[in-house]
Every structure is written in structure tokens, then in C-alpha cells.
């Protein structure tokens, strides 16, 4: 018992005893057992995190923020992948819940009802990250994707652009990209316009695919002044396609994306984009649960961050 207290640096242990215990522990190569510690104390330092994927750079960036914030507070992230599949997400939630995490972070706000119930009933802080809703399970940290799309359209319309093409991929799975598209389309409609053409496919959004679909936009007959891409990866592919065809960006066609990725900044031409605060979202969500768990802070319902519009070379 004294050893247990000494190793946890509890008070009421004499310095001499602490030293003796630590020396003994070191000499034996003692490694505590977190399973027993948690079972006995009925507390864990685990934070469960689910991400849709790791191949899209956006998610690792959010995860990095989460890991940074939680590890700084001595919490341990455990994670699972949903692969954009709500059933897999449910399974992952169920199996992570068995580890009795101190908090749970999930991507977006569109979980299955069963998953929401599971999380709500768990009694631990739950943060829905990367999107917003008025009716979170517990808390949400992010920004409105619908609004982001809407704002982009309004900004471009204000510059006099009216003939838009749209390029996207896997919108059935990437609900947030679909919301941006919907917001964009709504703004167009409100001002009496609509997409001149849309090129979307079911396969995964990649740069190569962005280039390919941009080719489609350029090949079809209706003139287009700007193309709104599902994200910057695809938009970068679109830029490369323009470079190949010697189509001038943004003079011949304006390329607009979303995220503000590193590629975007290094491109020979700066596209229009909305920079999403990915790392910051992760950091904020991580700190939120850390303070919920460690400081017993009240759970914020809704923390709204904002993407920042960047017109790049388009003036």
C-alpha cells in the first residue's frame, strides 16, 4: 500500500520511503498495471477517438491536435476507424466503450441513432468534432459546412462570377462535403443561378480524380467561369489539369476549393479556398474533454470555429 502511494506521489508518504520505493521499482524494472489501476479506482485516462480515415490528410491533422491536447494533460488516446461507414462507426463506438474511456470524440454530427444513444447513456463527455448541430449528444466543436459552402458562393457571386461548375466525389459518404455543396447551391439559387455543370463520381476524392473531372468541365460546351471543388485535394488536381492545358488560373477559370491544405499554398497559382481550422479543432476538442474530465468543467454545448476565406490570386 505504501509503495502504491509512493509511486503515485501521493502525499502522506515520507520522502525517504518514496526514494526507497522508487529505487526498488527501478531495480526490478517495475511497470504498473493500468488495467488494475483503472479497475480499482474506477477511473481511466483513456480518451476514445474515432476518425473516418487516415489517408485523407485532414483527419490526421485533427487527430494531431487531439493527441497534443490530451497527451499534454496526461490522457491517453485510443482510436478506431469508421472508414466513412456508419455501421463500422457504431461497432467501433461499442468496442471502445468497453474500455470505459473518460471521454469520447467522434467525427461529425451524423451518427446512427443507436450510436448516439450508446454515447449519451455512457455518461461520459462526448464531443462531436468537425461539424456543428443545434442538438449535440453533449458538445460539438467545429464549423458549419453548409455555411462554409454558402459563404464561398456568396463571396464569389459578389465578385461578379455567375457561371459555376462543381466537381466532387464520394458525396454519399463524405457528408460534410455534401453539406458544403448544398450550401453553395442554395446561395446560387437565392441569387437566381445554378451550377452550369456538375461532375461527381462515387469513388474517393483524390488529386488525380480532380484533374480528370476538371478535364470534363473544360471539355463540355457550356462556358464556366469558376469551378467549386469538394476539397483542396481535388482542386489541386484541377489546377494541374489547367497547367497541362495552359488554361490560365484564375484568368480563364477560377478554381475554388476547401480546407487550405499545404499543397494549396505551394501551388504555382493560389486558388480560392476556405481554410478550415483542423489542428485547432482537434486541440479545442481535446482541451475541452481534458478540462471536463480533469477539472470537472461544465460541458460546453457548442464551440463554433470559423474557416477563413482566402481569395489567393483572384482579385
| Minimum separation from the CB atom of position 16 to DNA (A) | 7
| Minimum separation from the CB atom of position 11 to DNA (A) | 7
- Binder among 28, 29, 42, 223 for DNA (CB under 7 A): 42
Alpha-carbon span 126 to 123, nearest angstrom:
9
270 in contact with a copy of itself (CB under 8 A)? no
95 in contact with DNA (CB under 7 A)? no
Where on the phi/psi map is residue 238: left (φ > 0), alpha (ψ -120 to 50), or beta?
alpha
Preceding peptide of 143 cis, ω within 30°:
no
4 in contact with a copy of itself (CB under 8 A)? no
Alpha-carbon span 26 to 48, nearest angstrom:
31
- Binder among 41, 203, 221, 266 for DNA (CB under 7 A): 41
Q: Which does 14 bind (CB under 5 to 8 A by kind): a copy of itself, DNA, none?
A: DNA
What's phi and psi for 302, nearest 5 deg? Answer: -155, 115
Burial bucket for residue 47 (CB in 10 Å: 0-12, 13-18, 19+): buried
237 in contact with a copy of itself (CB under 8 A)? yes
- Binder among 3, 22, 25, 71 for a copy of itself (CB under 8 A): 71
Q: Up-side HSE of residue 310: CA atoms within 13 Å toward CB?
A: 19
What's the CA dihedral at 153, 154, 159, 160 to 10 degrees? 80
157 in contact with a copy of itself (CB under 8 A)? no
Pick between residue 6 and residue 254 the one whose CB is nearest to DNA.
Answer: 6
Which residues contact a copy of itself (rule: CB under 8 A)?
29, 31-39, 44, 53-55, 57, 59-61, 63-64, 67-68, 71, 76-81, 94-100, 118, 121-122, 206-208, 210-211, 233, 236-237, 240, 243-244, 262-263, 265-268
Amino acid at each position: 500500500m505504501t509503495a502504491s502511494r509512493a509511486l503515485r506521489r501521493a502525499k502522506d508518504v515520507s520522502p525517504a520511503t518514496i526514494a526507497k520505493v522508487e529505487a526498488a521499482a527501478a531495480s526490478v524494472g517495475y511497470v504498473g498495471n493500468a488495467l488494475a489501476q483503472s479497475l480499482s479506482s474506477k477511473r481511466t485516462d483513456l480518451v476514445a477517438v474515432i476518425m473516418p480515415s487516415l489517408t485523407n490528410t485532414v483527419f490526421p491533422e485533427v487527430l494531431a491536435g487531439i493527441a497534443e491536447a490530451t497527451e499534454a494533460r496526461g490522457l491517453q488516446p485510443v482510436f478506431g476507424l469508421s472508414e466513412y461507414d456508419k455501421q463500422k462507426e457504431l461497432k467501433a463506438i461499442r468496442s471502445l466503450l468497453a474500455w470505459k474511456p473518460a471521454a469520447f470524440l467522434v467525427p461529425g454530427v451524423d451518427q446512427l441513432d443507436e450510436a448516439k444513444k450508446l454515447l449519451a447513456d455512457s455518461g461520459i463527455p462526448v464531443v462531436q468534432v468537425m461539424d456543428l448541430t443545434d442538438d449535440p449528444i453533449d458538445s460539438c466543436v467545429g464549423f458549419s459546412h453548409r455555411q462554409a459552402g454558402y459563404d464561398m458562393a456568396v463571396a464569389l457571386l459578389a465578385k461578379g462570377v455567375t457561371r459555376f461548375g462543381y466537381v466532387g466525389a464520394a458525396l454519399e459518404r463524405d457528408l460534410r462535403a455534401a453539406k458544403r455543396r448544398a450550401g453553395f447551391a442554395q446561395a446560387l439559387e437565392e441569387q437566381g443561378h445554378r451550377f452550369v455543370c456538375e461532375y461527381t463520381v462515387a469513388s474517393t476524392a483524390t488529386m488525380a480524380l480532380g484533374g480528370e473531372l476538371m478535364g470534363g468541365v473544360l471539355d463540355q460546351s457550356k462556358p464556366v467561369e469558376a469551378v467549386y471543388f469538394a476539397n483542396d485535394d481535388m482542386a489541386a488536381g484541377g489546377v494541374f489539369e489547367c497547367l497541362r492545358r495552359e488554361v490560365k488560373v484564375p484568368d480563364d477559370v477560377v478554381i475554388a476549393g476547401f480546407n487550405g491544405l499545404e499543397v494549396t499554398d505551394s501551388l504555382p497559382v493560389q486558388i480560392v479556398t476556405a481554410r478550415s481550422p483542423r489542428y485547432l479543432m482537434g486541440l479545442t476538442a481535446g482541451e475541452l474533454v481534458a478540462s471536463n474530465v480533469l477539472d470537472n468543467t461544465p460541458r460546453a454545448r457548442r464551440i463554433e470555429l470559423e474557416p477563413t476565406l482566402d481569395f489567393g490570386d483572384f482579385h
